[in-house]
Amino acid sequence: MSDRTEAEVQRLRAVLAVLAREFPDTTPPLDYASPFQLMAAVLMSAQTTDRQVNVVSPQLFAAWPDAAAMATADPEAVAEVIRSIGFFRTKARNLVAAARMIRDEFNGQMPDRMEDLVRLPGIGRKSAGVVLAHVYNTPAIIVDTHFGRVTRRLGFTTETDPVKLEHDLAAWWPHDTWNPASMRMNFHGRRWCTARSPKCSECPLQQYCPYPAGSAVGTGAT
């Protein structure tokens, strides 16, 4: 590990200490009662707010609470229940197809490895990371638009491609930081470090962040 990286790890830990006070709870803001239901909720949350997902989840999980039940569902009936969220038809098809894959290829058990989770229809690396982190407590760097924006502005990476960004950070972030950083930087991006008008003058990370000085030239502005 280079001197620069050692110093950067210390800065990362200082940032995370502030964020831990700011956001003590790292639970995903989705309603679920089992690993399968978390997977289903995350699948539904693509391009939809968590609040909208939480509106449809009770009826969905009352009708089809687990993979065994969902695997027997008619995708049209599932679509009818979740029709208030975006892309509901595609998501309904993916929910049923994912449940059937869990039943047929994983012996009815939720997969617990990234390479298996991303085989489930509708589940990408971000969604798989949420399941790994919150169901299995496996370290995962969960890259979404908020996380990417915050980590770039904080100067931890310059990557914009989600997979490259994940690997860039994974190369030097200690494993114990992955899960708390994923959730808390996401929350921070929603509350303070917003895309169009970050609240830098009030931000609790101001002293650790190079962005305000560099923002005039557009550093990490996306």
Q: Which residues are annotated as a binding site?
A: 193, 200, 203, 209
Binding segment for ligand SF4 (CB under 6 A), chosen from 30-38, 40-48, 139-147, 206-214, is: 206-214
Between 106 and 192, whose beta carbon lies closer to ligand SF4?
192
Between 42 and 185, whose beta carbon lies closer to ligand SF4?
185
* 126 given a catalytic annotation: yes
Residue 200 near ligand SF4 by CB under 6 A = yes
Least spacing, CB of residue 214 vs ligand SF4, in Å: 9
What is the size of the binding site for ligand SF4 (CB under 6 A)?
A: 14
Q: Which is catalytic among the residues 50, 66, 91, 126?
A: 126
Q: Binders of ligand SF4 among 150-179, rule CB under 6 A?
A: 150, 153-154
Residue 12 near ligand SF4 by CB under 6 A = no
Between 75 and 214, whose beta carbon lies closer to ligand SF4?
214
Least spacing, CB of residue 219 vs ligand SF4, in Å: 9
Q: Binders of ligand SF4 among 127-146, rule CB under 6 A?
A: none
HEC string of the chain? Answer: CCHHHHHHHHHHHHHHHHHHHHCCCCCCCCCCCCHHHHHHHHHHCCCCCHHHHHHHHHHHHHHCCCHHHHCCCCHHHHHHHCCCCCCHHHHHHHHHHHHHHHHHHCCCCCCCCHHHHCCCCCCCHHHHHHHHHHHCCCCCCCCCHHHHHHHHHCCCCCCCCHHHHHHHHHCCCCHHHHHHHHHHHHHHHHHCCCCCCCCHHHCCCHHHCCHHHHHHHCCCCC
Residue 203 near ligand SF4 by CB under 6 A = yes
Binding residues for [4Fe-4S] cluster: 193, 200, 203, 209
Question: Which residue type occupies 46?
Answer: A
* 144 given a catalytic annotation: yes
Residue numbers of the site for ligand SF4 (CB under 6 A)?
A: 150, 153-154, 192-193, 198-200, 203, 205-206, 209, 211-212
Catalytic residue numbers, as ranges: 126, 144
